[in-house]
Amino acid sequence: MELYQVQILAFAALICCTSSAYGWGVDGHLITCRLAQPRLSKATADAVSQLLPAYADDDLGSVCSWADQVRFRYRWSSALHYIDTPDNLCSYLYKRDCKDEDGIQDRCVAGAIYNYTNQLLSYGNGNSQYNLTEALLFLSHFIGDIHQPLHVGFTSDKGGNTIDVDWYTTKTVLHHVWDVSIIETAEERFYDSNVDELINKLQTNITTVWANQAKAWEACSKTACPDAYATEGIKAACDWAYKGVSNSSVLEDDYFLSRYPVVNMRLAQGGVRLAATLNRIFG
């Protein structure tokens, strides 16, 4: 093979394979973190500012996809992005479902949220035994992931990763439609391909039409409440993501227009709850 062919292949692999099967895409995570940051209390904002790496320049959104970038380097972390539940049951139970493919308990996105919350509670105790910068980046990412309905999906199809679909004229898998395609299509169609405009719109909705609900989204009698989010997630997966879809389904306007509001709501809930959780930790 000629060098230029190798380069083209390497470039194609980069383009094709960088969008992940491990969470919302980059924009989904950017949106949850950008929604969360202005809602932080002063004490929380100070702690976050201390913990963020210098290159983040105090912008949580800029590092919200870090956990996806390290998923190969930190192979152990890959099971922490999702929960697999029994096929078609449409329910979630921590004890039954929060384990990895080898059956090791607590290795799922809800377990990871509890773990990194606990680590971050040691902030201010002097010499913490943990890397609290990584804990903050993991927690901010995983609270986003648990709000992606197919990150709490069925076991046999790996949260829709093995369900082939056409998104309009493009071949993809159902999981990717929910990580990336719905958000991307909404940005193109309604927001001039500008993610900041989508963020502004959600921000406004949170303080107006969703203001009452947003109060309820924050409620949590412990420091972190991932089990409630996972239960909502598998219900949304059954009611919206999987509904009417099978292998080789063609998904277009009917699906996009009815599911886009669900994605908007989950992104908003993720942002509000990330802020509320950080405020409970550092408050």
Judged by the rule CB under 5 A, the positions of this chain that interact with Zn ion are 22-23, 81, 145, 179
User: Is residue 265 within 8 Å of 182, Cβ to Cβ?
Assistant: no
Q: Which is nearer to ligand ADE, 8 or 104 (CB)?
A: 104
Partner in contact with 227, chosen from ligand ADE, Zn ion, none, beta carbon below 5 to 8 Å by kind: none
Least distance to Zn ion, CB of residue 67, Å: 6
Q: Is 124 helix (H, G, I), strand (E, B) or coil?
A: coil
Q: Which residues of the chain form contacts with ligand ADE (CB under 6 A)?
A: 21-22, 81-82, 84, 150-151, 153, 158-159, 161
Q: 176-193 burial, b for 16+ CB within 10 Å, e for fewer?
A: bbbbbbbbbbbbeeeeee
Q: Which is nearer to ligand ADE, 28 or 159 (CB)?
A: 159
Q: Which is nearer to Zn ion, 19 or 205 (CB)?
A: 19
Partner in contact with 179, chosen from ligand ADE, Zn ion, none, beta carbon below 5 to 8 Å by kind: Zn ion
Least distance to Zn ion, CB of residue 182, Å: 12
Least distance to ligand ADE, CB of residue 59, Å: 26
Least distance to ligand ADE, CB of residue 267, Å: 17
Partner in contact with 145, chosen from Zn ion, ligand ADE, none, beta carbon below 5 to 8 Å by kind: Zn ion
Q: Which residue is nearest to ligand ADE (CB)?
A: 159
Partner in contact with 153, chosen from ligand ADE, Zn ion, none, beta carbon below 5 to 8 Å by kind: ligand ADE
CB-hemisphere CA count at 13 Å for 252? 4
Q: Which is nearer to Zn ion, 201 or 235 (CB)?
A: 235
In eight-state DSSP terms, residue 178 is: I
Strand runs labelled E in 12-151: 83-85
Burial class (CB in 10 A: 0-12, 13-18, 19+), 166: middle
User: Is residue 77 within 8 Å of 67, Cβ to Cβ?
Assistant: yes
Partner in contact with 144, chosen from Zn ion, ligand ADE, none, beta carbon below 5 to 8 Å by kind: none
Partner in contact with 28, chosen from ligand ADE, Zn ion, none, beta carbon below 5 to 8 Å by kind: none
Least distance to Zn ion, CB of residue 147, Å: 11
Q: Which is nearer to ligand ADE, 29 or 81 (CB)?
A: 81
- Cα–Cα distances in angstroms (integers) from residue 160 to residues 16, 147, 156, in the given order: 18, 15, 9
Least distance to Zn ion, CB of residue 184, Å: 14
Q: Which is nearer to ligand ADE, 25 or 159 (CB)?
A: 159
Q: What is the DSSP string of 49-83?
A: HHHS-GGGTT-GGGGTTHHHHTTTTTGGGGGGG-E
Q: Which residue is nearest to Zn ion (CB)?
A: 23
Least distance to Zn ion, CB of residue 22, Å: 4
Beta bridge partners of 105: 99
- Between CA 100 and CA 252 the distance in angstroms is 34
Q: Which is nearer to Zn ion, 81 or 147 (CB)?
A: 81
- Between CA 80 and CA 135 the distance in angstroms is 13
Q: 124-133 burial, b for 16+ CB within 10 Å, e for fewer?
A: eeeeeeeebe
- List the one residue out of 275, 281, 260, 262 whose CA is nearest residue 217: 275
Partner in contact with 173, chosen from Zn ion, ligand ADE, none, beta carbon below 5 to 8 Å by kind: none
